[in-house]
Amino acid sequence: EIGEIAEQQGCNAYVAGGFVRDLILQVQNTDIDIVIEGDGIRLAKALAAQRHGIVHPHEKFGTATVIFPDQSRIDVATARLEYYDHPAAMPTVEHSSTKLDLYRRDFTINAMAIHLNPKRFGILVDYFNSQNDLKERRIQVLHNLSFVEDPTRIFRAIRFESRLDFTITKHTEKLIKNTVQMNLFDRVEEPRFFHELKLILSEDNPIPALRRMAALKLFPFLWPDLRPNLKIDRRFLHFLTQANQAISWFKLLYLPDKIEPWMVYLLAIMSRSRTKELIAFCNRFSLPPRQRRKLIAQKTEAERVAQEMQKRPFLRPSETYWLLHELDIEGLLYLMAIARKRYIQQAVSHYVTTWRNVVPLVRGDELKAMGYIPGPLFRTIRNHLIEVQLDGQVGSREDALSFIQ
Ligand code: ATP
């Protein structure tokens, strides 16, 4: 359909980037990235009109995002003609603007496109021998200044390497090292860096990528307060592995709770830092207030609870409940990650799977019917009920009712 609209508008349309990479690798990818040789915004508008979508244009960049009624989205970019004079863009006049668009991408494996116009539909455009790199499982940049132009690509290289199980080529690795040495991270504050870090921490297992980041000396840029050139030592790795296990365990429960695993990993990475340093990290990367508040609250609370539980191995379920009830899931998983005793993890897992869902066996309106006046006393009774239920002193509604009377 996009190809047909393009044909009508007298321009060429391509699908490009990660979508093409994953198509060849036979991996699912729903992020569709369209490049138009012509007017991308005009095409986006026509597509939205046909499919009842909404267009969000960015006139300055010639790009647009179309959001369809089912919330799926497509990004449309314009391969701009003013770049025609660029030396790398000339070999074939017909494709030159697309070639430049692809040349400006991060890695060869992400720099392919597929024709969408009906007459050429499905033809692969590969200017940079990308297919071969995919076959050889290699990650390499398109030109030597790539990381100087955009250092966030370093994080992307590491993420793809770890996720796809590819290898960054020696030459590209050398360019990364040069960029790091040249201290090119002076723009590290940009939220884009944090965005890329968050993507790494959102992978199923970010530990190999984190080890790679440490080996490439990226940690001092992200966490200057951690020891310079921090190696991933055994204790650090232990926390990360425990975080990974806690998250995997939680995912297997298939509970409806939405979690943000990157927060658990970030807390685990910063478990040996003080709150002050976490605040500095949040400031440096301009984290949104909600995330900032949550991270700080979960860190302080989980660490307090970990100490408390360490001192008291024989807590009753109700005592565990009151200790844990202020923590979010991310804080609870972080607590499991830093717990030094098996019994702490067991208590937290009981809390997550059952105890936290406890509902008093007598409802508020029943208490009212019994003559209690709503107010602080209500709360006390309900809290007390929760305690006796959790500790097994009250097993049925009858028990609960007689307990109150
Ligand atoms: P993922 O599967 O993680 O979404 P993706 O390759 O689709 O990977 P996106 O971040 O959605 O990644 O980016 C889409 C495309 O845009 C990439 O394939 C790449 O071609 C290009 N791109 C993204 N970020 C950069 C960057 N920093 N520099 C150059 N090109 C980039």
Q: Whose CA is closest to 338, among 312, 285, 300? A: 300
Residue 160 has pLDDT above 50, yes or no: yes
In whole angstroms, give the CA distance from residue 56 to residue 386. 50
Q: Indicate if the alpha-carbon torsion angle 112, 118, 122, 123 is positive or negative.
A: negative
Predicted local confidence at residue 68, as pLDDT = 93
What's the pLDDT band for 96 if we cut at 50, 70, 90?
Answer: low
Question: Distance from the CA of 205 to the center of ligand 1, in angstroms?
Answer: 20
203-208, Cβ contacts within 8 angstroms, sequence gap of 24 or more:
203/159, 203/162, 203/163, 205/244, 206/162, 206/244, 206/265, 207/237, 207/240, 207/241, 207/244, 208/162
What's the pLDDT band for 335 if we cut at 50, 70, 90?
Answer: very high
What's the pLDDT band for 92 if we cut at 50, 70, 90?
Answer: very low
Task: List the end-to-end C-alpha distance of the chain, in Å, as a whole number.
Answer: 71
Residue 401 has pLDDT above 70, yes or no: yes
Residue 90 has pLDDT above 50, yes or no: no
Q: Which two tokens stand for residue 226?
A: 């951690």
In whole angstroms, give the CA distance from residue 219 to residue 226. 8
pLDDT, tens digit, 9 for 90 and up, residues 292-307: 999 999 999 999 999 9
Report the pLDDT averaged over residues 125-134: 96
Who lines ligand 1 at CB under 6 A? 17-18, 29, 31, 33, 105-106, 110, 150, 152-153
Residue with CA at minimum distance from ligand 1 atom 30 = 105
Question: Distance from the CA of 333 to the center of ligand 1, in angstroms?
Answer: 30
Q: Whose CA is closest to 382, among 371, 396, 366? A: 366
Mutation pick for ligand 1 pocket among 14, 100, 110 (CB with most ligand atoms within 8 Å): 110
pLDDT, tens digit, 9 for 90 and up, residues 218-277: 888 888 777 644 556 777 889 999 999 999 999 999 999 999 999 999 999 999 889 999
Residue with CA at minimum distance from ligand 1 atom 15 = 17
Question: Distance from the CA of 303 to the center of ligand 1, in angstroms?
Answer: 37
Question: Distance from the CA of 18 to the center of ligand 1, in angstroms?
Answer: 6
pLDDT cut 90: percent of the chain above it: 65
In whole angstroms, give the CA distance from residue 68 to residue 53. 4
| Higher per-residue pLDDT: 214 or 87 | 214
Predicted local confidence at residue 185, as pLDDT = 65
In whole angstroms, give the CA distance from residue 379 to residue 383. 6
Predicted local confidence at residue 227, as pLDDT = 63
Q: Indicate if the alpha-carbon torsion angle 94, 97, 101, 103 is positive or negative.
A: positive
Beta strands in 122-225 (DSSP E): 124-125, 138-139, 167-168
